Amino acid sequence: MAEPCTVRDLAARIGQTVTIRGWLTHYRSSGRIRFLVLRDGTGVVQTVVKAEAAELAGVESWEQIGQESSLIVTGQVHRDARAPVGVEVEVRAVQVLAATHEYPITPKEHGVDFLMDHRHLWIRSPRQAAILRLRSIIVQAIRGFLDSHGFVVADPPIITPTPAEGSTTLFAIDYFGEPAYLSQSGQLYMEALALALGRVYSFGPTFRAEKSKTRRHLTEFWMIEPEMAFCEFEENLVWQEQLVEHIAQQVLLRALGELNALQRPLAPLENIRTPFPRITYDEALVRLAQLGMPIAWGEDLGAPHETALANQFDCPVFVTHFPTHLKAFYMQPEPTRPEVVRAADLLAPEGYGEIIGGSQRIHDLSLLESRMAEHGLDASSYAWYLDLRRYGTVPHSGFGLGLERLVAWFGGLDHVRETTPFARTLNRVWP
Amino acid sequence: MAEPCTVRDLAARIGQTVTIRGWLTHYRSSGRIRFLVLRDGTGVVQTVVKAEAAELAGVESWEQIGQESSLIVTGQVHRDARAPVGVEVEVRAVQVLAATHEYPITPKEHGVDFLMDHRHLWIRSPRQAAILRLRSIIVQAIRGFLDSHGFVVADPPIITPTPAEGSTTLFAIDYFGEPAYLSQSGQLYMEALALALGRVYSFGPTFRAEKSKTRRHLTEFWMIEPEMAFCEFEENLVWQEQLVEHIAQQVLLRALGELNALQRPLAPLENIRTPFPRITYDEALVRLAQLGMPIAWGEDLGAPHETALANQFDCPVFVTHFPTHLKAFYMQPEPTRPEVVRAADLLAPEGYGEIIGGSQRIHDLSLLESRMAEHGLDASSYAWYLDLRRYGTVPHSGFGLGLERLVAWFGGLDHVRETTPFARTLNRVWP
């Protein structure tokens, strides 16, 4: 048997005889010619059986190889400009490892509930596999950018004693008889780590027990939370836009096959160039009024407002300086105008909404204590967090990037449930 | 002010005037000369104030700058072969951002409970910061190896409906009124993903509600779980040893400063060269008997046995082919000798015990069903997992690498609680 070759690597093996190990996605015959379309996890390739002489092992006839049968195919690689991977394979031998019959997911249309019930199989479909590969490429791009800029990856705890922002949306667990909660943000811990290590980031799951059934919400989702010591508001925005630009460039470089499989128009991704536009909340209100969607100063932007604002730009846009009372207790008020905070949301174009939320954090102990009192927070629960301001406090900033929404945006997807292998939603914890 | 420079980058700036932003770890004076030792998260450097003429801002006298005061120091970089970072900085100006007094963690000895209660500050100490940087370098090495070998990173769910290996050590959560559990292994999901994507790996937290108080146990720890389709037992071992060798090489290349800070002897790490020795469980029993530690065939190896075996090698060693009844239901029995399974534990030298556990998985549906029945497992809870054998099954293998134990081993640490920013143990969920 020739050495195994992945579908992705076939284009470099033209003229050679290779072995491909994978699964049948489609079978058809036309006269004496048979076509077996194979997937192997790295891509999809058409193979052609031109003669009865091709060896077949494991089953008695070609017709017994059903969709999702596992196969080892040996054949010669030919250039084929029409094929998605640029080649076709002329089959010499097929060994059937396991003939599959009555595979539940057929090329016909299935309902979403059926597909999610069969998610362990649905992920094999070329579209779903392309999304998961796109996610992996995006993960690598994020880590690559942060690693190469001196950020230390540091994992905040998942099991936490104190809710960071209220407890109504927390999953509670019994921790050997003590109450504890699943983290919905590692930020407070990342602040401690930034003061120890300079620049840090987390990359892990977070949890929100929201009873939301929207196309943007999962109860379990992955967040990237960078935090930088000696970093103020403006520098924080620059880190964010450079990170997003880097991801876009990497996706366009490494995930073109996946984007094509998803029929994702490339122009919106090619437009992602720094610097991103910045508008203040106040300016946003003026724009919304001009669009016939007025809101009063002090009210929060809803999803329709975010979409309307983002549609005015062909690039992600920062909305900055939100009213202080709308935002979390730890955000730094603007010194000359304390009714707004040094916080920004990054809104993606094409209706994908908030991708990043970030802010400069309050570094002054007494200001932080008074903000916590205004929020009715119990200082004893935050004793360790206050220590960060008591001992060697410095200006610091950070942000949180939601991975699934980012994947949905880059992939041009309708729903975040397809951006993660096994989505957890209000009504689903299976498979 | 000169452009900020990290301590790590000072060696490239000899002769230049730089600005360092960091925190005071030690202060002493000798006659008219003062020494300020600074940390900035990337390293520790000694700065020297040779004249009263150096500017001081933010406080009135040098004596007011206590340990962990936050400072911005400007000065000239001089070569100093005796210094850990190879340079010393002659101070021209010091700006004190926040003068700190009575920092709780002093150079004197503190008890472990005190230090863990102050973990948010303890992580600033040079030793703890070195461990966390070492962890970050190891994380990058693992991801780098797997990413460069075509593995797709894929995140299995944390919130799971079905326990993979019994439920006594699971943390239960209330999922909108339904029972659910925190994952203690993503393996079953990784098997589904390997059949969709070929080679995959997870990199995330896992949870075990074990009432163990040992230096090797955390309740929340990070696991790397690669899973490979079309991969049998021997190839699985090769992936494991190549990964561990790569990590060792990267650590020796990139973390020498951290290893020195931890006073870690390098020879044991330099000895990590593939191929690693392999002994069967049967051979292990012979060796243990010769060492005066006999155990009967069918009994499991305990920590003292693992240490005694590993001490016979100066490199990690695989113990293979354990008795089937000792291992999980999904492990492939050896066809010619079904009382043992195609599983291996990788034991680290120096008493660090099991670092990796891996196996070839059963791919035959009826064999898997009969093994599950023997284990008393409810097939309906595993319906989706059985589907993986019903539709397109192939030989596949994988392994689980425990990050914290690996960091403890590479760092030469006594206890895993120092290998993670905020350890979770039987009695600790704070800070």
The token pair that represents B168 in the structure block: 């006594």
Residue that is last in its domain, among A98, A129, A149: A98
CB contacts of B180 in chain A (<8 Å) are 429
Which residues 66-125 of B have a C-beta within 8 angstroms of A?
Answer: 68-70, 97-98, 100, 103-104, 118, 120-121, 123-124
What is the per-residue pLDDT for A163? 66
Reported ipTM: the value is 0.97
Q: What is the pLDDT of residues B105-162, one digit of tens each?
A: 988 889 999 999 999 999 999 999 999 999 999 999 999 999 999 999 999 999 999 6
pLDDT beyond 70 at A6: yes
Q: Looking at the complex, does the CB of residue A132 fall below 8 Å from at least one CB of chain B?
A: yes
Nearest to B14 by CA among B117, B89, B105: B89
Contact check, Cβ <8 Å, B429/A209: no
Q: Looking at the complex, does the CB of residue B42 fall below 8 Å from at least one CB of chain A?
A: yes
- If one counts every other C-beta atom within 10 angstroms of the C-beta of residue A154, the result is 28
What is the per-residue pLDDT for B32? 87
Q: Do B174 and B72 share a structural domain?
A: no
- The answer to the question of residue A429 being in a domain is no
Q: What is the pLDDT of residues A50-65, one digit of tens each?
A: 977 789 999 999 999 9
pLDDT beyond 90 at B8: yes
Torsional class of B85: left (φ above 0), alpha (ψ -120 to 50), beta (otherwise): alpha
What is the per-residue pLDDT for A3? 76
* Greater model confidence, A391 or B62: A391
Q: What is the Cα A182 distance to its own chain's centre?
A: 20
What is the per-residue pLDDT for A165? 57
Q: Do A203 and A94 share a structural domain?
A: no
Q: Do B160 and B66 share a structural domain?
A: no
Mean of the per-residue pLDDT values for chain A?
95
Q: Looking at the complex, does the CB of residue B140 fall below 8 Å from at least one CB of chain A?
A: yes
Q: Do B305 and B185 share a structural domain?
A: yes
CATH number at residue A274: 3.30.930.10
Q: Looking at the complex, does the CB of residue B183 fall below 8 Å from at least one CB of chain A?
A: no
Contact check, Cβ <8 Å, B161/A209: no
Q: Do A130 and A71 share a structural domain?
A: no
CATH number at residue B74: 2.40.50.140
Q: How far, CA to CA in Å, does B292 sit from each of A65, B289, B309? A: 57, 5, 12
Q: Do A128 and A56 share a structural domain?
A: no
Percent of chain A clearing pLDDT 70 (strictly above): 98
Q: Do B330 and B263 share a structural domain?
A: yes
What is the per-residue pLDDT for A243? 98
Q: From the list A42, A98, A219, which residue is nearest B198 (CB)?
A: A42
Pairing label, strands A172-175, A178-182: antiparallel
CB contacts of A196 in chain B (<8 Å) are 41, 123-124, 128-129, 132
Q: Domains in chain B: how many in total?
A: 2
Contact check, Cβ <8 Å, A387/B121: yes
Q: Looking at the complex, does the CB of residue A210 fall below 8 Å from at least one CB of chain B?
A: no
Mean of the per-residue pLDDT values for chain B?
95
- The answer to the question of residue B280 being in a domain is yes
Residue A166 pLDDT class (50, 70, 90 cuts) = low
Contact check, Cβ <8 Å, B429/A175: yes
- The answer to the question of residue A108 being in a domain is no
Q: Do A316 and A195 share a structural domain?
A: yes
CB contacts of A229 in chain B (<8 Å) are 21, 41
Contact check, Cβ <8 Å, A173/B176: no
Q: Looking at the complex, does the CB of residue B420 fall below 8 Å from at least one CB of chain A?
A: yes
The token pair that represents A142 in the structure block: 């994020």
Pairing label, strands B152-153, B199-207: parallel
Contact check, Cβ <8 Å, A120/B6: no
Q: What is the pLDDT of residues A68-108, one digit of tens each?
A: 999 999 999 999 999 888 999 999 999 999 999 999 998 88
Residue that is last in its domain, among B98, B128, B147: B98
What is the per-residue pLDDT for B108? 84
Q: Do B52 and B173 share a structural domain?
A: no
Residue A252 pLDDT class (50, 70, 90 cuts) = very high
Q: Looking at the complex, does the CB of residue B152 fall below 8 Å from at least one CB of chain A?
A: yes
Q: Do B172 and B33 share a structural domain?
A: no
- The answer to the question of residue B154 being in a domain is yes
Q: Looking at the complex, does the CB of residue B421 fall below 8 Å from at least one CB of chain A?
A: yes
Chain B's closest residue to A420, CA to CA, is B155
What is the per-residue pLDDT for B364? 98
What is the per-residue pLDDT for B173? 93
- The answer to the question of residue A84 being in a domain is yes
Residue range of the domain that includes B44: 7-98
Nearest to A196 by CA among B392, B142, B25: B25
Q: What is the pLDDT of residues B263-276, one digit of tens each?
A: 999 999 999 999 99
Q: Which of A3-7, A150-154, B165-169, B174-178 has the lowest mean pLDDT?
A: B165-169
Residue that is last in its domain, among A98, A128, A151: A98
pLDDT beyond 70 at A139: yes
Q: Looking at the complex, does the CB of residue B419 fall below 8 Å from at least one CB of chain A?
A: no
Chain A's closest residue to B136, CA to CA, is A153
Q: Do B339 and B285 share a structural domain?
A: yes
What is the per-residue pLDDT for B159? 97
Q: How far, CA to CA in Å, does A50 sit from each of A23, A34, B23, B393? A: 20, 7, 73, 27
Phi, psi torsion values for B226, nearest 5 degrees: -75, 150
- The answer to the question of residue A113 being in a domain is no
Q: How many residues appear in chain B?
A: 431
Shortest Cα distance from A67 to chain B (angstroms)? 9
Q: Do A128 and A84 share a structural domain?
A: no
A149 by Cβ neighbours in 10 Å (0-12 / 13-18 / 19+) ranks as middle
Mean pLDDT of A257-277: 97
- The answer to the question of residue B427 being in a domain is no
Mean pLDDT of B187-216: 94
Q: What is the pLDDT of residues A278-308, one digit of tens each?
A: 999 999 999 999 999 999 999 999 999 999 9
Shortest Cα distance from A120 to chain B (angstroms)? 6
